[in-house]
């Protein structure tokens, strides 16, 4: 037992290192999600149709957001390891790759959302339920999306910079930029949604405008800081003097990164498809899920940050050739993530009935939201383990395995179960939602086996592929 505890629990220096990396991200994500909750409440005050329209669009935009995340993460595997072995030229080239691929995704995503906006939103609208007008929900969603398209570019540029800066060990500036941006978003939401201080009451359009403006603010803060601190962020020095990337590095990033990017796209598409399955049971389910996801995301910030800690810390150790230390550190990081999520999940379960009462919506929506939140709380430790396992496999460049572990699992097992249960059985939505989540127990077992076997322990930059 003492030996097991030694493997799972680190010393004070270990947790000081973990908190140094994680706390800025936890603060940033916490403030972001809390302000997102306030935004959600504001929109909910003007109507359930508006709240549902925005929820549907945000579910669609999640596919774009995670495509960007997958693109920067694929190159980021190399960036973290290059920084670990102090190859700043390699970091610079991975940064350029991120910019190019993210700009490409932005163009494609913008065209899809522009030309097929109504078709995509209508996937989630199935039947009238009382006063919830589907036609109004569609129009609110289209109006919101039309403005949000202008926020795709700053999102992609900021993600390219922020991911590289984090790989170089700097997490505070992204936290500061995020904090400023969310408060700008919050203030503008209040002014533009409700028409305060002489401004017009724009409703969902005002919510979208506030988000877009805040994204530009966040992007400029990160850009300006990075270019003013070239002595610390050495990758940015001369980053735009030479726009080419060594062909051998491009090939290696494509080989390692493409499965990761495809994984993120398919995973996001899978989550959107799961929501579509749930939406078959009515628009009140969409509204309840929107409230639940907003609350649960606020409580998920610790294990989400811990995944990033795994990718940065373990990736740097692998790049430095410290394989045994990487394994030992990874086990302790996963244990810490699961433990904290267990405590947080218990707190969330107890508080679940209180949160939906904040919203100005139907009692049926509030009851569903409470149940969905409690399911999320029960499953939080399981999701924490899966999240850390995913980032462990990714840190060593095992992107094909992560692809199979993450999105293939979702589409082969979770999605068919959700589809069959939602369309061919009378099972109520709450136990249906719980069943789909509990399927991930199998995924946890697979993750445990893969992490323990050490298939991820790999140095992918030892041959100096930076060019």
Q: Tell me: the pLDDT tens digits for 114-127?
A: 999 999 999 888 76
pLDDT of residue 464: 44
| Separation of alpha carbons 83 and 396, rounded Å | 14
204-257: per-residue pLDDT in tens? 999 999 999 999 999 999 999 999 999 889 999 988 988 888 888 888 888 877
112's tokens: 């899809």
In what helix (H) or strand (E) does residue 56 lie, and over which residues does it extend? helix 48-84
- pLDDT of residue 355 exceeding 60, the answer is yes
Does some domain include residue 99?
Answer: yes
- How far apart CA 171 and CA 337 sit, in angstroms, is 19
The answer, yes or no, to whether residue 154 has pLDDT greater than 70, is yes
Mean pLDDT of 398-427: 89
463 domain-assigned: no
What is the 8-class DSSP label of residue 233?
Answer: S
Task: Count CB neighbours of 354 within 10 A.
Answer: 11
Does 164 reside within a domain?
yes
DSSP state of 86: T
**Can you give the length of the chain in residues?**
467
66-86: pLDDT as tens digits: 889 888 988 887 887 888 788
Question: Is residue 455 pLDDT above 90, yes or no?
Answer: no
Residue 47 token pair: 């109507």
Of the candidates 36, 61, 275, which has an alpha carbon nearest to the alpha carbon of residue 147?
Answer: 61
Residue 52 in any domain: the answer is: yes
Which tokens is 192 given? 């533009």
Give the integer Cα–Cα distance in Å for 240 and 22: 31
Please state, in angstroms and rounded to a whole number, the distance separating the CA atoms of residues 406 and 136.
36
Q: Does some domain include residue 462?
A: no
Provide mean pLDDT across the span 52-64.
Answer: 86
With beta carbons less than 8 A apart as the criterion, state whether 406 and 267 touch.
yes
* Containing structural domain, residue 54: 2-453
Q: What whole-number distance in Å separates Cα of residue 121 and Cα of residue 139?
A: 9
Q: Percentage of the chain with pLDDT > 90?
A: 41
Whether the pLDDT of residue 131 is over 60: the answer is: no
Tally the domains of the chain.
1
Q: Is 348 inside a domain boundary?
A: yes
Q: pLDDT tens, 356-377?
A: 888 877 888 899 999 999 999 9
CB 440 within 8 A of CB 383: yes
Residue 369 tokens read as 């939201």
- Range with lowest mean pLDDT among 26-35, 44-53, 398-407: 26-35
Q: Looking at the predicted structure, is the pLDDT value of residue 463 above 70?
A: no
Instruction: Give the mean pLDDT of the chain.
Output: 86
Using CA atoms, how far apart are residues 260 and 281, in angstroms rounded to an integer?
33
- Across the range 88-105, mean pLDDT stands at 92
In-domain check, residue 359: yes
Asked whether residue 461 is domain-assigned, the answer is no
Tell me the pTM.
Answer: 0.77
Q: What is the pLDDT of residues 161-193, one digit of tens each?
A: 999 998 887 878 988 898 898 889 889 999 999
């Amino acid at each position: 037992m003492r030996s097991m505890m030694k493997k799972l629990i680190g010393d004070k220096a270990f947790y000081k290192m973990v908190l140094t990396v994680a706390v800025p991200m936890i603060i940033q994500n916490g403030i972001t999600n809390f302000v997102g909750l306030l935004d959600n409440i504001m929109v909910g005050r003007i109507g359930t149709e508006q709240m549902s329209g925005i929820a549907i669009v945000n579910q669609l935009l999640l596919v774009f957001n995670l495509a960007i995340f997958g693109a920067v993460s694929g190159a980021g595997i190399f960036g973290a390891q290059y920084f670990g072995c102090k190859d700043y030229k390699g970091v610079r080239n991975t940064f350029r790759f991120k910019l190019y691929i993210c700009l490409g995704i932005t163009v494609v995503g913008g065209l899809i959302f522009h030309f097929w906006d109504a078709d995509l939103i209508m996937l989630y609208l199935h039947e009238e339920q009382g006063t919830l007008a589907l036609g109004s929900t569609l129009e609110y969603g289209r109006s919101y999306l039309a403005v949000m398209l202008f926020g795709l570019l700053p999102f992609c540029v900021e993600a390219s910079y922020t991911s590289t800066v984090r790989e170089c060990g700097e997490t505070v500036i992204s936290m500061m930029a995020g904090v400023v941006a969310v408060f700008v978003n919050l203030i503008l939401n209040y002014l533009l949604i409700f028409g305060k201080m002489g401004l017009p009451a724009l409703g969902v359009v005002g919510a979208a405008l506030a988000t877009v403006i805040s994204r530009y603010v966040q992007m400029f803060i990160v850009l300006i800081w990075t270019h003013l601190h070239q002595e610390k962020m050495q990758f940015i020095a001369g980053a735009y003097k030479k726009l080419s990337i060594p062909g051998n590095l491009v090939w290696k990033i494509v080989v390692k990164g493409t499965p990761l990017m495809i994984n993120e796209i398919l995973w996001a598409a899978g989550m959107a498809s799961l929501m579509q399955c749930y939406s078959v049971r009515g628009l009140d389910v969409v509204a309840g899920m929107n409230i639940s996801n907003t609350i649960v995301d606020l409580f998920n910030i610790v294990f989400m940050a811990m995944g990033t800690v795994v990718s940065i810390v373990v990736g740097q150790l692998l790049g430095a050739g410290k394989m045994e230390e990487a394994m030992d550190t990874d086990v302790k990081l996963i244990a810490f993530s699961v433990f904290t999520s267990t405590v947080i999940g218990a707190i969330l379960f107890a508080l679940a009935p209180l949160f939906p009462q904040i919203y100005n919506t139907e009692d049926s929506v509030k009851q569903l939201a409470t149940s969905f939140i409690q399911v999320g709380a029960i499953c939080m430790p399981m999701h924490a383990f899966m999240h850390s396992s995913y980032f462990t496999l990714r840190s060593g460049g095992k992107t094909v395995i992560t692809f199979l572990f993450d999105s293939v699992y979702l589409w082969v097992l979770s999605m068919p179960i959700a589809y069959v249960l939602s369309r061919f059985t009378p099972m109520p939505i709450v136990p249906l939602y719980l069943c789909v989540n509990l399927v991930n127990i199998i995924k946890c077992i697979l993750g445990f086996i893969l992490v323990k076997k050490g298939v991820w322990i790999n140095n992918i930059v030892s041959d100096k592929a930076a060019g």
